[in-house]
Amino acid sequence: MRSLGGAGAGDEPTYVQRLLAGGTAGALAISVFNPAEVVKTQVQTHREGHLRMRDVIARVLAKDGLAGFWAGVKPNVARTFLVNAAKLGTYDEAKTRLVPYTGEGLLSHVGASGCAGFTSACVSTPADVVKTRLMNAAGGEQQYRGMLHAGSRILMDEGPAALYKGFIPICVRKLVWCAVFFVTYERIREGYNVRYP
């Protein structure tokens, strides 16, 4: 990973390396857990009556077989890569740039968290919309041929704003989550480094 994205100052990774590391970790993890995402997405977006997880599993298996549980895996991997790259890479880069002005502490951690959350929401929301549309089609009628077709059809049929449906709540959630996550992470890391120098 060090050879990708050029050389950083000293032993510090570059912003590109930070983005790639965060994105790759997330993409690998979601590739394994996509079946759970398919079931969760269909249960959450079901509108008529109660839909049980086992009903979704049975329907997907009957219609698409085991491969149906990987419906939407490409946009899910793309989305998770973007989310983790933006969140982890941007946090690290923003903190590196803020610390000389604010010092290492709560202000730099919260500031970097805000940058990470906002960036993550901006780059991931379109992939979220495409992923949800494809996952909802698993075990049913296929409206789209794939990730690029879904994205282009949504853009052409519904306009650019459709790719950012739900942006405000997503952004608020990411801002809060990143602040809690990264501030907690920094406190735990600080305590660990004090205890185990």
Query: Tens of pLDDT along 31-79?
Result: 999 999 899 988 888 878 888 999 999 999 999 999 999 988 887 888 8
**What local confidence, expressed as pLDDT, does residue 46 receive?**
82
**pLDDT at res. 153:** 94
The pLDDT of residue 6 is: 55
Contact 39, 71 (CB under 8 A): no
Q: If you average pLDDT over residues 14-43, what whole number do you get?
A: 91
Q: How far is Cα 127 from Cα 49, in angstroms, rounded to an integer?
A: 28
- Residue 101, sorted as left (phi over 0), alpha (psi -120 to 50) or beta, turns out to be alpha
Q: What is the pLDDT of residue 8?
A: 55
* pTM to 2 decimal places: 0.72
Residues 6+ apart with CB under 8 A from 106: 183
How confident is the model at residue 3, as a pLDDT?
A: 54
Encoding tokens for residue 64? 């698409």
What was the pLDDT predicted at 5? 52
Report the distance separating Cα 171 and Cα 147, nearest Å. 23
User: In angstroms, rounded to a whole number, what is the distance separating the alpha carbons of residues 178 and 49?
Assistant: 35
The per-residue pLDDT for 135 is 79
Tokens 């409206």, residue?
A: 143
The residues near 14 (Cβ < 8 Å, ≥ 6 apart) are 5, 6, 7, 8
For 26, 88, 124, 137, the CA distances from 23, given in Å and listed in that order, are 5, 8, 12, 26
**Interval 127-181: pLDDT, tens:** 888 888 887 777 777 788 888 899 999 999 999 999 999 999 999 999 999 999 9
For residues 81-106, give the mean pLDDT: 93
pLDDT recorded at residue 10 = 63
In this prediction, what percent of the chain has a pLDDT beyond 90? 56
- Rounded to whole angstroms, how far apart are CA atoms 82 and 4? 17
